[in-house]
Chain A
């Protein structure tokens, strides 16, 4: 599996865009980038995933560089409820990929009022 590197912590002001980076320089052609978040001790929550193209849903946008070696999760208008640990995961999109979805240490995002 491609290894991911995320900053351990970030701060963002409420109402501003939160941009969370993730490096995955060893990603292979069939590996997707997934983002999850965990609010306090709740179950992790799926946010978004992508392969090559940028993706957007009701929660966030995912920007993947052209060489696919890094990506950025964007929360366009961060609220206090977005304070959480955010995990970037790279995995093949297959049953085998689902077998062992590895959650690293993630980025602890704090939204400040």
Chain B
């Protein structure tokens, strides 16, 4: 089944404890992206990647890192999490280029709580 898989789905951690949210897709998509969703603010893009070793900042990149060493994986790294990073996180991927570029497949989400 074509899908985007995120782990963990739920995580409670403490301030300053480094964590990584993994994202993997099995569709051979070039494009991958991370979003966070907060009440009243909608979905906001954190980082995106157009291909292996190519990443760029989205709207809210502060406090996050990403890497794209392999085409299928795009982990989101919180080096020193803070309570304002408590949120629901989504990873998404799509093929490129053309009209299919904006047909994103989303993961099921990772709910992160930072105490």
Contact = CB atoms under 8 A, between A and B. Distances in A.
Interface string A68-101: 0000000000000000000001010111011111
Contacts of B108: 42-43
Contacts of B106: 43-45
A34 to B, nearest CB: 6
Interface of A: 32, 34, 36, 41-46, 49, 51, 89, 91, 93-95, 97-106
Interface of B: 4, 31, 33, 35, 37, 42-43, 45, 48, 50, 56, 58-59, 88, 90, 92, 94, 96-109, 111
Contact of B94 (A98, A104, A106): A98
Contacts, number: 73
A42 B35 CA distance: 13
Given A43-B108, A45-B106, A105 B42 contact: yes
Given A42-B108, A42-B109, A95 B50 contact: yes
A42 B6 CA distance: 12
A77 to B, nearest CB: 24
Given A43-B107, A44-B106, A100-B45, A94 B90 contact: no
B105 A46 contact: yes
A100 to B, nearest CB: 6
A97 B31 CA distance: 11
Nearest to B105: A46
25 contacts: A32-B99, A32-B102, A34-B102, A43-B4, A43-B90, A43-B106, A44-B104, A45-B106, A46-B103, A51-B99, A93-B99, A93-B100, A93-B101, A94-B98, A95-B97, A95-B101, A98-B48, A98-B96, A98-B102, A99-B50, A100-B45, A100-B48, A101-B33, A101-B45, A101-B104
